[in-house]
Amino acid sequence: MPQADHYTHGLLLYREGNYEQAIGELEPLIGDNDIASRLAEYYHALSQRALGLEALLAGKFDLAERRLRTAASVIGKDADLSAHLAGLYARTGRFDRCSDEMEKDLAAHPNAVQSHRKFAQALWRQGLRPQAHMALRSALRRFGSSSELYIQEGLFLAAEDRFGEARKAFESAVECDCTSAEAHGYLGLAAAVEKDATSAFRSFQRALELNPNDVSLAHRLAVSARAAESEGYHVVIQLPETYASTNVSQIRQLASYVVQEPDFVEAFLKLPPSDVDAELFEMLLGVVQMAISEHPDYADLHHHSGRILHRLGRTENAIIQARKAIEINPRYVQALILLGELHASQGRTREAIEYLQRAISSGGDWPDIHCLAAELMGSCGRNSTARGHLERALALKAGYPRARRALESLAA
């Protein structure tokens, strides 16, 4: 497929909410300096962000952390021109020029808190740390309580490993402006450094509510949630409404699709076992369960749920779902077969045989089902009945190797 087609298809998948597929299409394009590569990287990051937030909502903090970290490495905040130029001077080592420019700006805008903050930053970059602290204290005396200035003070203190003092400065910033996402975010970082995971979690939660577009905050929330949870703190994620409604809407759309297209689940279940089974099938299970909540009387959905749970190794729960399917439709052949297989896997041979016989009498008159029933019967000494099933299997499929071998085994 040409590069342009990969990009177009990837973008379409992203817009449709198929983020995993979008990542697969866009990833091979990343790495060049052309516009297509840069755009591919951007939408790849947006897809990682969406999946990271879904994982965060689901309580999968390790997965959320990985995805959001990937997204945060690409999606940054737009800087204004002056910040960009100051950064350019700093990156090229021209710190004196940077502070000179900021001092000129301060003279031109003496009543602008931002100008004082930038001047202090420029002094700091030049290595004039005491002067930078003095500039901030002077500004605080001039303006009184200022969230911006306290934030900068906290950053300076943190850079000097004075984390306790930095945390107090960030607390002052929050007191000055409880709607400052920046203040809450830095307070969360300070709490995290002091290994206060629960306080960090609360601060990042509030910061993300105030600035829902900051993917770095979402990543930090995932990290702190995992840490808080490991300390025994009960974590309840509350994402901004824009995220929650979008995610729920997308999941509902997917659940609706599962109802209309049963082959969708079948396609997943036919995938060979892999390292991502747990992640993939837990997601699929959640979608099917949402569909069940809206259509509890659909036997197919309970059967799907049972097969997914079986794939996840949760046999007892799988049995419960398969039984619900046959309660709705007692002659549901596939659900009866599933129950037979599940009971057989647990060594509950008698129940397994009963379910398989019900499946056969309900229309599942198939060679492999006869063979499975016969094998189970042979294991408990019911050779005569087993032989009848094997003969029926051979009648349905002449020369069927599995049936022929089983008959030879019975005769031995």
Identify the bridge partners of residue 32 per DSSP, sorted by sequence position: 30
- Residues 66/51, Cβ–Cβ less than 8 Å: no
Convert the pLDDT of each residue in 248-301 to its tens digit: 445 556 667 677 776 778 777 877 777 767 777 887 887 888 888 888 899 999
In the chain, domain spans? 3-72, 81-238, 244-331
pTM: 0.43
Q: Report domain 244-331's class.
A: mainly alpha
The pLDDT of residue 97:
57
CA dihedral 62, 167, 203, 19 (to 10 degrees): -40
- 200-205 own/partner pairs: CB under 8 Å, 24+ apart: 200/224, 200/227, 200/228, 201/225, 201/227, 201/228, 201/233, 201/235, 205/237, 205/238
- CATH code that applies to domain 81-238: 1.25.40.10
Tell me which residue has tokens 């003969």: 391
The C-alpha atoms of residue 180 and residue 123 are separated, in whole angstroms, by: 25
Amino acid symbol at 8: T
Convert the pLDDT of each residue in 92-112 to its tens digit: 565 555 555 555 555 555 556
Same fold, 81-238 and 244-331: yes
Q: Which residues are within 8 A (CB) of 145 and not within 5 positions of it... i.e. 6 or more apart?
A: 172, 175, 176
Give which of 72, 11, 4, 66 is closest to 43, Cα–Cα: 11
Residue 17's pLDDT band (cuts 50, 70, 90): confident
What is the mean pLDDT of the segment spanning 237-253?
54
